[in-house]
Amino acid sequence: MAPRSSTPRKKKARAGYMISAVAELYKLHPQTLRLYERVGLLKPSRSQGNTRLYTDSDLERLEVILTLTREMGVNLAGIEVILNMREKMGEMQRQMQTFAEFVQSELARGLRSASAPASRNALVRVGPPKVIRVQKPDSTEKSKN
């Protein structure tokens, strides 16, 4: 018995369905799956014997493709554009999440340093802030009348 991998992703990526099983499961002809691969919509992995193996992520992508073709009538070129946009949107979402986390950490760091006492090792020592009150001339004239 082969040792199990400690990460479930690797195990999930290795598991694969042969083209005949996928075609039967989704009521497709195997040539349709080959066409989707030829035009670049699907990229199944290959076994050592060069057999196409479809992973769970390939099947999820296939379900999106079938929904777009069967239910919405989108052609293959349109599907390619939609899938590319979905990937770009996912990447943008990850970048935005990373940026938001960075901004939050910087704000938290800035608030901590602002509330901390002034460092004795600073290049220029800054005394405590002084409040200066200034009265406008208009306000004093109105109060005299």
Convert the pLDDT of each residue in 65-84 to its tens digit. Answer: 999 999 999 999 999 999 99
Half-sphere exposure of 77 (CA within 13 A, CB side): 0
CATH topology of domain 10-106: Multidrug-efflux Transporter Regulator; Chain: A; Domain 2 (1.10.1660)
Instruction: Summarize pLDDT for 42-67 with one digit per residue, the tens.
Output: 999 998 889 999 999 999 999 999 99
DSSP 6-43: SSHHHHHHH--EEHHHHHHHTT--HHHHHHHHHTTS--
Q: Which residues pair with 17 in a beta bridge?
A: 54
Q: What is the pLDDT of residues 104-124, one digit of tens each?
A: 998 888 777 666 665 566 677
pTM flag (> 0.85): no
Q: Which two tokens stand for residue 38?
A: 């030829």
Q: Where are the domains of the chain?
A: 10-106
Please, which residues have CB within 8 angstroms of residue 30's CB and are 6 or more apart in sequence? Answer: 19, 20, 23
